[in-house]
Amino acid sequence: MFTRMIGATKLAVAAAAMLGLSACAGFQVQNAKGLSPSGDAFSAALYKEYLVLAEMEFAEGDYMDSDTFANRAIASANGNPPGPEELDARNLPGASKGELAEARRKLTEALAAGFGKSKPDAAARAQASFDCWMQEQEENFQPADIKWCKDRFDAAMAQFATPKAEAPKPSITFANFTVYFDFDKSALTAETQSTLIDAANAADDMAAKSVTVSGYTDRSGSPAYNMALSQRRAEAVAKELTTLIGANAPAMTLQAFGETQNKVVTPDGVKEAKNRRVKIEIRK
């Protein structure tokens, strides 16, 4: 293949072979050049791929394999593309037969599945690269060239892989968030605002039908004062949520519980940050 270094002995053999070239092998690449493919897109692509291989082998003095690839190029240009080489067409090392057999199986399945029509360039490259791999594996003395053919084959075959379907995301029908307030305050803080953005996004994502906003206070202050404070906190949250969600904002139910239903049970008059909250329940 293209990385092959022709030694003095091989050059001598090649030179001698050139003297009788017209009578033996090597001229098919000339016959293959410049043809106008008459078949489908796959045949045209296969012609180009095989012609490249034929020219590479000719340049290395491997006229027999050059003719093999050139004849395949000519057949492809005439609209009669050959199939991938059969395993018994080459004298393959035993250690490589299993891998090549599996590769050929995958290739023939891809061609049978119609990838020659749907992805003609990739299909043509896969087939020509497989034949290239077979040829280099038969010679079995240039690991870099074997790898080049195999890598091209693998890259082409990868284009036929069916993307794995993503598992459907579970349908979310409920979400809840809690925001907290400073002592004796109903103003929204930066931290509160961040949580409300998350809540608004959740409501929008699930196309929520309803949102319940419940306000609470701690037990510092009178029950009447705390009831009014919890109402103001709920109203502040509902107003901001409505603004964030926008035109698709669902119906909102406001509830005020004052200093009752504390998250953290405390004696009367005790300040407790976790009780100064508003709970948001979103339902689809």
Span of 6-15, 155-164, 205-214 with lowest mean pLDDT: 6-15
pLDDT recorded at residue 20: 43
CA angle 148, 149, 151 (to 5 degrees): 65
d(CA 208, CA 174): 8
Paired strand residues for 179: 278
- The mean per-residue pLDDT over the stretch 6-14 comes to 36
The ranges of the chain annotated as CATH 3.30.1330.60 are: 174-283
CA 263 to chain centre: 46
What's the first-to-final CA gap in the chain, in angstroms?
A: 65
The pLDDT tens digits of the residues spanning 193-211 come to 999 999 999 999 999 999 9
Span of 222-226, 246-250, 263-267 with lowest mean pLDDT: 246-250
d(CA 212, CA 269): 28
Fold assignment, 174-283: 60s Ribosomal Protein L30; Chain: A; (3.30.1330)
The answer to whether residue 110 scores a pLDDT higher than 90 is: yes
pLDDT band at residue 91 using 50, 70 and 90 as cut-offs: very high
pLDDT band at residue 14 using 50, 70 and 90 as cut-offs: very low
pLDDT recorded at residue 24: 54
Helix (H) or strand (E) holding 203: helix 190-205
Q: Is the pTM of this model over 0.85?
A: no
pLDDT recorded at residue 23: 44
d(CA 245, CA 201): 7
Residue 261 near residue 178, CB atoms below 8 Å? no
The pLDDT tens digits of the residues spanning 122-159 come to 999 999 999 999 999 999 999 999 999 999 999 999 99
Compute the Cα dihedral for 105, 111, 113, 118 and give only its sign: positive
The answer to whether residue 170 scores a pLDDT higher than 70 is: yes
- Please, what is the average pLDDT of the chain? 90
- The mean per-residue pLDDT over the stretch 40-67 comes to 95
